[in-house]
Structure 1
Amino acid sequence: MLATVLVLIAAVLHATWNTLIKFSGERLLVIASMDVVAFTFAVVMLGFVSPPPAAVWPWMIGSAVFELIYRVLLIRAYRVGDLGLVYPLMRGLSPLVVLGLTLVFAGEHLTTQQILGILLIPCGMVCLLWQGGGGARLPWSMLPVVGLIGLCIGCYTWIDGHVLQLGAQPLDYLVWLSLISAWPFPLMALCSKRQAFTLFWREQWRLGISVGLCVLLSYALVLWAMQLGSVAEAAALREISVVLVVLFGMRYLKEPFGRPRLMACGLVLLGMLLMKLKL
């Protein structure tokens, strides 16, 4: 029960920071700012955590690489697609990736009902390909980009769960992972947009700190939840954020809420019920 609550809170935070990034016109600067917060947190916490075991480091570096690729592609995808279309498509693939990796490599036991619930989530995302999800169509050239984002999310999520199974503690892992992955975007912003980055922190520092705290807390809660229960189930339950993002996009970004988006949200919720209810 605790793992489910943690994942649902993380989903709200994840939906919030993605909405803020989509809403901003300077997405590189927002992501760089949130990484400044993460890196600062990691440096402050360094004296309170232990280095992960040696066996964890290759996996942790792999997770960091997938996260960096994901963020680069995320900026590109949000330039051309609705939040309520891009986010569900990219997030909908990740539970399928985590499920496959978990069943093949981790040997985690899942019931048939849990597997069916997980599979309903990517099925819901397919609905969004129909008539642009009720709004503007996503260019076909962007579908491989969105698919690659989903693949990256699924890979680093599975790696994170695997690392916890190797004995790493969630807080230790979060701190060291942030030290590895949270410096490239701030460095990129300083090199390519130094004046704009300085101005952003002067005028929109609240946005940068808010997004950074949402990302850190969301990640920490998911790591904790994966340590308590099933990695595949935690990854799938987190996709309640899809429903929230569609609603946020409609409310704050004036995006349409057509029948395909309604069907997608319904299948996500049905999949979650299948995973958690004992039938």
Structure 2
Amino acid sequence: MSPELLALALGLFSALTLAAANLSVKAGADILSSRAILQCSAALMVAPALFVVPPPDAATWRALAVAVPAHFAYQLVLVGALKHGELSLVFPIMRGGAPLLTGLLAWLVLGEALSLPAVLGLVIATLAVVAFALPPRGVGLLAHPDRRALLFALLTAAGIALYNVTDAAGVRAAPSPFTFIVLLFMFDCLGITPLALWRRRGRWGEIIRAKWRYGLAGGGLSILSYGAALYAFSLTEAARVSAVRETSVVFAALFGALILKEGFGTRRIVAALILAGGLAILQFAG
């Protein structure tokens, strides 16, 4: 299999597991606690790999010094988005705004360039997923009933674009992509966990008993999802990997409708089809 096709397959697998990981956090009700348990679970799961991956060098540590704060900022706004909005509402916005921003940042920071058709595909995909969260018919944007959730979702999109670029640089700078992947998962809990411990102080015994299943499932899915995406970053352009991974919005909308009993509707089905078309243009543009 060519590196490009492998990156495509990894991106699609990452999309499915990403949607499932966020479903587990949303289903846990206490979003902050579920996210903290997810991150701690993921760190414990990858810890044994420290003994088999190549040791980090100075470039790896420099990359982590940028990537870990970027991930913490993303986690903060993600918690806000999932707390204030339905999964099928905020997920398309926060994931859909990311590909275009990632493409722009990858061009500015990594020197990557996409062809004009690929840029068109990025724009179509981004507009399609934004359509998932348009207000109800007859309601203006300023009167949108989920304004706070949408604001957090837009901030999350910016956070996703930021960490996509920092992580793409990290997997390329490290002695092995797996070195960066393992260390990132190890350190990714260092911001959100102390915050959750402070905000939920005195209740952690109760929280762990009630939420550990959601956090553990999310941690395993998170490893599978972002590990696949990070390795794909080492095979092809960051913007392409990010865009394929954003097909997770379709899975998340289905999970929200079928499992969480959230709305879906014809408009979101059409938006998903347009999204698929935009991503196809992006992937197969010359």
C-alpha deviations, 1:128-183, integer Å up to 9, x for none?
34324999945334433222111110010111112223244222112211232213
Greater CA drift, 184-193 or 72-81: 184-193
Gaps of 5+ in 2: none
Report whether the alignment pairs 1:255 with 2:276.
no
Give 1:153's aligned residue. 160
Identify the match of residue 131 of structure 1 among 135, 149, 153.
135
Runs of at least 4 residues of structure 1 off by over 6 A? 133-136
Q: What does 1:152-171 align with in structure 2 at a 5 Å threshold?
A: 152-171=159-178
> Are 2:120 and 1:116 equivalent residues in the alignment?
yes
Hey, what's the Cα distance between the residues in 2 that align with 1:278 and 1:25? Answer: 41
Aligned residue in 1 for 2:279 = 272
CA distance in 2, matches of 1:74, 1:108: 27
Counterpart pick for 2:6 among 2, 19, 25: 2
Structure 1 residues 209 and 83: CA distance shift in structure 2, 3 A: same
CA contact (8 A) 1:17 1:215 kept: yes
**What is the CA-CA distance between 1:55 and the residue it aligns to?**
2.6
Deviation string, structure 1 residues 87-125 (Cα, Å, up to 9, x no partner): 000111111111001222322242222221111121113
| Displacement after TM superposition at 1:198 (Å) | 2.3
TM-score between both structures, scaled by the size of structure 2 = 0.88
Written as runs of structure 1 = structure 2, the 5 A alignment for 1:188-203 is 188-203=195-210
**Cα distance in 2 for residues equivalent to 1:14 and 1:134:** 33
Is the alpha carbon distance of 1:266 and 1:46 closer, same or farther for their aligned partners in structure 2, counting shifts above 3 Å?
same
1:24/1:260 CA distance change after superposition, 3 Å: same
Are the structure 2 counterparts of residues 167 and 75 from structure 1 closer, same or farther at C-alpha, using a change threshold of 3 Å?
Answer: closer
Deviates more, 1:152-161 or 1:141-150: 141-150
| Structure 1 residue 241: Cα displacement | 0.2
Question: Hey, which of these two has a bigger chunk of helix by percent?
Answer: 1
CA distance in 2, matches of 1:91, 1:109: 21
Q: Compared with structure 1, are the counterparts of its residues 68 and 143 closer, same or farther at alpha carbon in structure 2 (3 Å cutoff)?
A: same
1:60 to 59, 64, 74: 64
Length, aligned pairs only: 279
- Distance in 2 separating the partners of 1:150 and 1:40: 27
Specify which of 51, 61, 77 is matched with residue 73 of structure 1: 77
1:116–1:133 distance in 2 versus 1, CA, 3 Å: farther
Measured after TM superposition, the shift of residue 203 of structure 1 is: 4.5
The one of 240, 243, 247 equivalent to 1:236 is 243
Deviations 1:190-233 (A, max 9, x none): 34435533234335433221110001111110011111122110
**Residue identity opposite 1:126 in structure 2:** V
- The alpha-carbon distance between structure 1 residues 108 and 202, as it changes in their structure 2 partners (threshold 3 A), is same
Of stretches 234-243 and 125-134 in structure 1, the one that deviates more from structure 2 is: 125-134
CA contact (8 A) 2:75 2:192 kept: no
What code does the residue aligned with 2:217 have?
S
Deviation at 1:126?
3.0
1:25 has 2:32 as partner: no
Read off the aligned partner of 1:53 and give its amino acid letter.
D
When residues 128 and 206 of structure 1 are mapped into structure 2, their CA distance, relative to the original with a 3 A threshold, is closer
Do 1:134 and 1:257's aligned partners in 2 also have CA atoms closer than 8 Å? no
**Is 1:173 paired with 2:180?**
yes
How far did 1:278 drift?
5.8
Q: Return closer, same or farther for 1:70/1:134 CA change in 2, 3 Å cut-off.
A: farther
| AA at the equivalent of 1:193 | R
- 1:40-59 alignment, distance < 5 Å: 40-59=44-63
- Out of 215, 227, 231, the residue aligned to residue 224 of structure 1 is 231
Deviates more, 1:29-38 or 1:10-19: 29-38
Structure 1: 5+ residue stretches without partners: none
